[in-house]
Structure 1
Amino acid sequence: MHVIADEANFTIAMEPEKRLLRISIRGYWDETIVNAYDDKIREAGALMVSAGCPRNRILTLVDARGANVQSQELLEEYRKRFNQADRQPERSATVVSSVLFKLQVERVALPNQRIFQDLDGALEWLLTDAADMDTVLS
Structure 2
Amino acid sequence: VGASLALGALRRGPFRRPVGAPGVVEIVEGAIRYYGATEMGGEIPLRDLVEIRLLRLEGRAHWRLRSQSAEAMLIPVDAAGSAALADAFTALPGLHMGAVSAALAQVADQGDAMRTVWRRPV
TM-score greater than 0.5 by the shorter chain: no
Q: Judging by fraction of residues, say which structure has more strand.
A: 2
Which structure would you say has the larger Rg? 1
What is the TM-score of this pair, normalised by structure 1? 0.28
What is the TM-score of this pair, normalised by structure 2? 0.31
Q: Judging by fraction of residues, say which structure has more helix.
A: 1
